[in-house]
A and B are shown apart, each in its own frame.
Chain A
């Protein structure tokens, strides 16, 4: 019978080595051994994807490998989450985020990367897609009772949509309800974030996660 440490190491290693079969097997083994799926996710999978994120930041691993590792992790995570559902437990995510690319813009690779890494960190991500009208971000966030709204804009011509979302939130008396994050290559500095009074901005996924963590902490949510 494998110990918990051994299972966690298998989960971690298989994500780092993007080996789907081994990862799934480790998840199954963990379940059979009676370990708590939540622990397996948070102590095995999550640290792995966060380390992958760091390696991506330093250029050590490539974009496709980041995606493969993320898919590996998501595959095992599904197994573990299904197990929890069986047991009547629900993996209540620590936080929920609505994310998408703004209206007039169809660049979504960044959103995909952020979704993968944030999910691994325990945030449930609802990706509303691309070329999304400002109001839709708010409507979905309300419906899903999200904590965070994130908008991505890569074209400087569509950046203003990120401001439109803030304006609508203020008008509808919802500004303080949500943490509002902006991303995408359109604004390479913090000036835009300050100008529209967003809560945070980033162009690197690990920076984004760090900022989000801190903002959630202020709201009393610990990832």
Chain B
């Protein structure tokens, strides 16, 4: 039996056991961790640099250095070698390790959806810069520096009641004199001076927009003069090792640590994107943030414990402006950071972002939006009335609780089609390599395809009398073989079993319950919905027809459905470039009604009805019902509707 060792990859927090002698690159691929390898592990591109964070005993640094292969020295600097850098493809594993993959060795291609729908918005700047040449103070004119400055700004630009950041005030005198009275004042929201810069720097005006997802961070760098996106970056949320989901992070004993790692992670992305765009961080003056309520609170350092306990009430919901002095973001020191308003403990600023980006708040048409992620938020409404709720769908669509489930990365099966006659599957994997697991979009395809080929019934029960080599009794559950061992990367058959199907139905049932309860509260059925928006990375990659077939959402014509990608990020960008949008966001916050699903009297009944593929009441899914009748998979007995 070959010795096995455990490798932990940071900041992803993923662990994997590998055999002695395998390379770190192989381990990373197997664990589904994002790492670049242009030459495919031959040692000729030097792109897979990693940092060995802990080794049982690096007793002798010279010996350690001696172990570095010749081929690696070409690509590693002296400094890097001393800092424990290695090439992942050359470094063979012979003990338990923690390995950090720096941002420069990542492809960023881990389907970290950063692109979102582009919504036109008029630029109404929150930050303005004024080049000023002041009369020097003299014995004849002893006006204080601040008065001199603010009087100038009032008479020239109509700004009254100006304040100044205290930390900036501390050195206003030296700054102005070092600039020889010729400088640029940076003013926040026509209210507060946040920076004073030598000479004329009016051209340099930048800002960040950020989406702090539970799983993924997305950041954008924008030119605030014209609203242009200059660079984009993303990273797995570095809080993951401390808690996979919102609840476990709320209960983590050291919230300060969570705040620290998120700020570090964001700064890592910011460092990367300002380099890409070739600008200085001191010229970044604004940051607009979306994320669910817990993510925002952990970022700001606000106590989030009460969100974890019924009635799940948040401490506050308005948009906030927080001085960067408190946070230490890589941007101008005295900037203010804007977090969009939230609605409740579980419907946060990301949902606000989606509402702004899809313009539901001013729509004449009745719109529904689903932001599918670790939690799923549902929005239903128009300019007159908007309802929202949060569904604890669980992580099944991210691969958790599914035998061969995995996150979307190289080797994950992302698409499945099943031949109705032979029951043979046709699969596509990410990067087209051999399969090693199943990711979210395939987790939607599979029950849909099985329903269409009569492998399962609307009850979700697998037919165990079908006599086909792909269908068999597994160790504990009945299963269908997607990929035979010889064709997989794992030397095991990749299967999906009855229990997996139940998990998928439970997850989609929760989402469907959200849509159904909101429609009930609104007093409408799906025919009245003019548009359905699907937000989130997941939404961009799923087969919309299959998702509808299994009842992830109501039966709405595909022509009315639009994937909007990271619409939350779009909303953050809109609020970055327009302070009018921030005011609108505040109004939206007050107007939207939040429905607590778990407390709703119909919740249990609707949830039970949603535990079918697609729904207990097949009259609500006429297209699917017709298809089922056609293929002979329509239920013989009437389904009990709770």
- Give me the interface of A with B, judged by CB distance under 8 Å: 18, 58-65, 67-68, 104-109, 112, 131, 155-158
Q: Contact: A109 with B604, CB < 8 Å?
A: yes
Nearest CB of A to B303, in Å:
13
Rounded to whole angstroms, the CA-CA distance of A104 and B306 in the bound complex is 10
CB contact under 8 A between A155 and B247, given known A58-B477, A106-B310, A107-B598? yes
Nearest CB of B to A1, in Å:
30
Q: Contact: B502 with A156, CB < 8 Å?
A: no
Q: Contact: A63 with B608, CB < 8 Å?
A: yes
Q: Which residues of A contact B305 (CB under 8 A)?
A: 157
Instruction: Judge whether B498 is part of the interface by a CB distance below 8 angstroms.
Output: yes
Q: Which residues of B contact A112 (CB under 8 A)?
A: 604
Q: Which residues of B contact A62 (CB under 8 A)?
A: 459-461, 502, 505, 611-612
Rounded to whole angstroms, the CA-CA distance of A16 and B159 in the bound complex is 78
Q: Contact: B642 with A67, CB < 8 Å?
A: yes
Q: Which residues of A contact B478 (CB under 8 A)?
A: 59
Selected A-B contacts with CB under 8 Å, 8 pairs: A18-B640, A59-B502, A63-B506, A68-B640, A105-B310, A155-B310, A157-B250, A157-B309
0/1 per residue, B37-50, Cβ < 8 Å to A?
Answer: 00000000000000
Q: A107-B598, A156-B308, A157-B308 are in contact. List 17 more A-B contacts (CB 8 A).
A: A58-B476, A59-B499, A61-B459, A62-B459, A62-B612, A64-B640, A67-B608, A104-B310, A106-B310, A109-B604, A156-B248, A156-B251, A157-B247, A157-B250, A157-B251, A157-B305, A158-B310
At the interface, is chain A mostly helix, strand, loop or mixed?
loop
- A61, A64, A106, A156: the one within 8 Å of B609 (CB): A64
Instruction: Judge whether B343 is part of the interface by a CB distance below 8 angstroms.
Output: no
Q: Which residue of B lies closest to A68 (CB)?
A: B640
- Tell me the count of chain B residues lying within 8 A, CB to CB, of chain A: 32
- A64, A109, A156: the one within 8 Å of B616 (CB): A64
Which of B461, B604, B607, B608 has the most CB atoms of chain A within a 10 A radius of its CB?
B608
Which are the 6 A-B pairs with shortest beta-carbon distances? Answer: A157-B308, A59-B498, A104-B309, A64-B608, A59-B502, A59-B499
| B473-505 interface (Cβ within 8 A of A) | 476-478, 497-499, 501-502, 505
Rounded to whole angstroms, the CA-CA distance of A155 and B604 in the bound complex is 18
Nearest CB of A to B46, in Å:
43
Instruction: Judge whether B56 is part of the interface by a CB distance below 8 angstroms.
Output: no
Q: Which residue of B lies closest to A64 (CB)?
A: B608
Instruction: Judge whether B1 is part of the interface by a CB distance below 8 angstroms.
Output: no
Nearest CB of B to A146, in Å:
25
Instruction: Judge whether B139 is part of the interface by a CB distance below 8 angstroms.
Output: no
The tally of CB-CB contacts under 8 A between chains A and B is 68
Q: Which residue of A lies closest to B509 (CB)?
A: A63
Rounded to whole angstroms, the CA-CA distance of A60 and B501 in the bound complex is 10
Rounded to whole angstroms, the CA-CA distance of A156 and B616 in the bound complex is 32
Q: Which residue of B lies closest to A156 (CB)?
A: B251
Q: Which residue of A lies closest to B308 (CB)?
A: A157
- A59, A68, A104, A156: the one within 8 Å of B477 (CB): A59
Q: Contact: B642 with A64, CB < 8 Å?
A: yes
- B247, B461, B502, B607: the one within 8 Å of A109 (CB): B607
Which of B250, B609, B611 has the most CB atoms of chain A within a 10 A radius of its CB?
B611
Q: Which residues of A contact B598 (CB under 8 A)?
A: 106-107
Rounded to whole angstroms, the CA-CA distance of A68 and B616 in the bound complex is 12
Q: Contact: A58 with B498, CB < 8 Å?
A: yes
Nearest CB of A to B415, in Å:
25
Nearest CB of B to A111, in Å:
11
CB contact under 8 A between A155 and B308, given known A64-B608, A64-B642? yes
Q: Which residues of A contact B616 (CB under 8 A)?
A: 64
Q: Contact: B247 with A156, CB < 8 Å?
A: yes
Rounded to whole angstroms, the CA-CA distance of A107 and B609 in the bound complex is 17
Rounded to whole angstroms, the CA-CA distance of A68 and B608 in the bound complex is 10
Q: Which residues of B contact A105 (CB under 8 A)?
A: 309-310
- A65, A67, A155: the one within 8 Å of B459 (CB): A65
Q: Contact: A60 with B498, CB < 8 Å?
A: yes
Q: Which residues of B contact A155 (CB under 8 A)?
A: 247, 308-310
Q: Which residue of A lies closest to B248 (CB)?
A: A156
Rounded to whole angstroms, the CA-CA distance of A148 and B565 in the bound complex is 51
Q: Which residues of B contact A67 (CB under 8 A)?
A: 608, 642
Rounded to whole angstroms, the CA-CA distance of A157 and B460 in the bound complex is 33
